[in-house]
Amino acid sequence: MEPNIASPAALIGDPARAAMLQALMDGRAQPAGALAWAAGLSAQAASNHLAKLIDGGLLRVEREGRHRHYRLAGPEVAHALEALACVAAPVRSLEQPRSPKARALREARCCYGHLAGRLGIAVTDALVDRDLIAPADDKLYAVTPKGRAWFEDLGLDLDAMRSKRGAARQCLDWTERRHHLAGPLGVMMLSRMVALGWIEIAPGGRAARLTTLGQDQLRSRLGVDLETLQPRAAA
């Protein structure tokens, strides 16, 4: 039986609901008020849209006492939104982002917990070029023995995700049109880089910034230098 893509597509197709979903792409839970603000809606209108997204399986709600917070139902929803963004984004805006916010998001951003944008692609390319990960079937990456040693030296516990299917996934980047590292490994890597002070995530947003320490570390460990990078053609 073919999957019914019409139902989630109809939910995402509403501009207000799409804005709410995009506001949750950093992987964090948000209260209804923040999502109402992101969509430009009243509290009552936002509540109706949130109920539809929950019923449609795109959102889940977390309750803490009297407070309710909303987040994407899972990484599959984030991947679907990223894929749609690749189709929907105007080419001109990708080549020449017009606003500081758009430029910052293209440079580096958090995509459901992993590193995306120009920086995410650069790190992924370096991991592949140095034989630390290798593209595999089913849109996955395989971690090589050399890569395992590299990630463990970074401070990651790869045994903790050994049983997880799709631990290292390929995610199509909506601004760069190429794949960056996603899945549990991608999430662990970004979390570790933030903890080490290499990357900073904008409070309440998705934009990420490579610190001076991060520039030095990525240059020495992976040969990544954003100032000298040239875009690669999409595979």
Residue 98 has pLDDT above 80, yes or no: no
pLDDT at residue 133, as a whole number: 96
Please say which residue of 73, 103, 130 terminates a domain.
73
pLDDT at residue 204, as a whole number: 73
Does residue 41 sit in the same domain as residue 129?
Answer: no
Residue 140 lies in domain: 91-228
pLDDT at residue 105, as a whole number: 82
The pLDDT tens digits for 26-72 are 777 888 888 888 888 888 888 999 999 999 999 999 887 778 889 89
81 part of a folded domain = no
205 part of a folded domain = yes
Does residue 60 sit in the same domain as residue 140?
Answer: no
Residue 82 has pLDDT above 70, yes or no: yes
Q: Going by C-beta distance under 8 Å and a sequence separation of 6 or more, which residues neighbour residue 192?
A: 154, 155, 156
176 part of a folded domain = yes
Percent of the chain with pLDDT over 70: 89
Least confident of 31-35, 38-42, 102-106, 145-149: 102-106
Strand 59-64 and strand 140-143: the pairing is unpaired
Does residue 203 sit in the same domain as residue 109?
Answer: yes
Band (193; pLDDT cuts 50, 70, 90):
very high
As a whole number of angstroms, the distance between CA 97 and CA 84 comes to 19
Q: Which comes out higher in pLDDT, residue 104 or 147?
A: 147
The phi and psi torsions of 223 (rounded to 5 degrees) equal 70, 20
